[in-house]
Amino acid sequence: MSTSVSPLAPTDVPDMPAIAGVRLATAQAGIRYANRTDVLLALFDEGTTVAGVFTRSKCPSAPVEWCRARLNAGKARALVVNSGNANAFTGKTGRASTKLTADITAKAVGCKPSEIFLASTGVIGEPLDATKFAPVMDGLAARAQAGGFFDAAKAIMTTDTFPKVATATVRIGKAKVTINGVAKGAGMIAPDMATMLSFVFTDAAIAAPTLQALLKDGVTDTFNAVTIDGDTSTSDTLMMFATGKAEGCPRIARVSDPRLKAFKKALLAVLADLSEQVARDGEGARKLVEIVVEGAVSKASARRIAMSIANSPLVKTAIAGEDANWGRVVMAVGKAGEPADRDKLSIWFAGVRVAHKGARDPGYDEAKVSAEMKKPEIYLKVALGLGKGRDRVLTCDLTKEYVAINGDYRS
């Protein structure tokens, strides 16, 4: 397994400001890894609201079920995240493990277990020994302090090759509020799969139902528009915590409140930044691929066609091979099952139209396209010519390294 940083990693890492009402600490609990942090504790001031969006898997992990059951109350005092073990497909043991983790944390923090949110990433099917949290939890609670978001992003990594952070500062009314986000992306741990976790923190004062609506809306074109291999994790978790501690911040309780305008935009930018970083750290990725589908009968139809292209192993291997193989794009459009008319279809690679009205574009400059395909970022556009539906998804290429990461580690 390669430990080198993805060539697609962002070159600039932002300074992550502190968020009023959020304190962080990380520790080595020895869940699976040696010599690295594997547990994150985030403490929230009283009054913090919470929202969450989770995997649509029918076999979700125990922590996903734990969080879902406690989300309606809308209040959070702490978040515990561990890497190394996903606590997924662990049955009753898994449920007991989430309860024990919450109990240990509640005692150390001084709140109710129901105000604690949990996430786990790593091996599936292995029992998570929650007693390992007991020796470190009091220390975590004592050490927790403002800042430390980069370390937080590090502690939740599995085989991510770089920590993923993003930040934005905007105003709600006259109050300056900050949004910080961390994420872990597509990593592999024997014998397991990629799992996506992301946590967003803000000092804005936003009622839980409003926060939930904002998050749900924000995820559609960010995290839900990214695919590495089409394999949905049992553990996908995106949670957002709003402490309300930004000085002078008015309490917002309606999604349509006009004072949220800049905040919505900034939240989208943070989510988009984090989700793009996930694509940039896809297993074995050497190319970041942006796929735009326009002229579909609807946005939903454009999304399904874009995802069909993004998840096609033949398209992804062609891009790995730096081949502008539009024949495979046609195939992926055709198999999506959405309205499409071959004779109206046009395809661009890197802004060069290679196919037009159902056939190869006779005038296209193959040398120019070939040069573009060697770049680390590939822009692919499909125009269906049927309607106004447009959508965009991000993915990466499918390389031998992907197969090596996911197949070779036992041999």
Q: Which residues participate in catalysis according to the annotation?
A: 195
Give the shortest CB-314-to-a copy of itself separation in angstroms: 5
Q: Which of 101, 234, 277, 395 binds a copy of itself (CB under 8 A)?
A: 234
Size of the site for a copy of itself (CB under 8 A): 77
Residue 262 vs 331, nearer CB to a copy of itself: 331
Give the shortest CB-2-to-a copy of itself separation in angstroms: 14
Which residues within the stretch 174-193 sit at the binding site for a copy of itself (CB under 8 A)?
Answer: 190-193
- Are 120 and 81 within 8 A, CB to CB? yes
Based on the shown chain and the rule CB under 8 A, indicate whether residue 331 belongs to the binding site for a copy of itself. yes
**Spatial distance between the Cα atoms of 243 and 202, rounded to a whole number of angstroms:** 6
H-state helical runs in 336-387: 366-373
Based on the shown chain and the rule CB under 8 A, indicate whether residue 360 belongs to the binding site for a copy of itself. yes
Based on the shown chain and the rule CB under 8 A, indicate whether residue 60 belongs to the binding site for a copy of itself. yes
Based on the shown chain and the rule CB under 8 A, indicate whether residue 231 belongs to the binding site for a copy of itself. yes
**Spatial distance between the Cα atoms of 381 and 367, rounded to a whole number of angstroms:** 18
Q: 145 to each of 24, 101, 139, 149, 198, how far by Cα in Å?
A: 5, 21, 12, 10, 20
Residue 191 vs 248, nearer CB to a copy of itself: 191
Q: How far apart are the first and last CA of the chain?
A: 12
Based on the shown chain and the rule CB under 8 A, indicate whether residue 404 belongs to the binding site for a copy of itself. yes
DSSP state of 247: T
Residue 49 vs 159, nearer CB to a copy of itself: 159
Q: Which of 110, 135, 139, 358 binds a copy of itself (CB under 8 A)?
A: 358
Which residues within the stretch 72-91 sit at the binding site for a copy of itself (CB under 8 A)?
Answer: 88-91
Based on the shown chain and the rule CB under 8 A, indicate whether residue 363 belongs to the binding site for a copy of itself. no
Which residues within the stretch 88-117 sit at the binding site for a copy of itself (CB under 8 A)?
Answer: 88-94
Based on the shown chain and the rule CB under 8 A, indicate whether residue 399 belongs to the binding site for a copy of itself. yes
H-state helical runs in 225-340: 261-280, 299-310, 313-320, 326-335
Q: Which of 175, 262, 317, 352 binds a copy of itself (CB under 8 A)?
A: 317
For residue 365, what are its two tokens? 């400059």
H-state helical runs in 110-260: 134-143, 149-155, 208-219
Based on the shown chain and the rule CB under 8 A, indicate whether residue 336 belongs to the binding site for a copy of itself. yes
Based on the shown chain and the rule CB under 8 A, indicate whether residue 12 belongs to the binding site for a copy of itself. no
Based on the shown chain and the rule CB under 8 A, indicate whether residue 307 belongs to the binding site for a copy of itself. no
Residues 6+ apart with CB under 8 A from 51: 71, 74, 208, 211, 212, 214, 215, 216, 239, 240, 242
As beta bridge partners, residue 164 has 183
Phi first, then psi, for residue 231 (nearest 5°) are: -100, 110
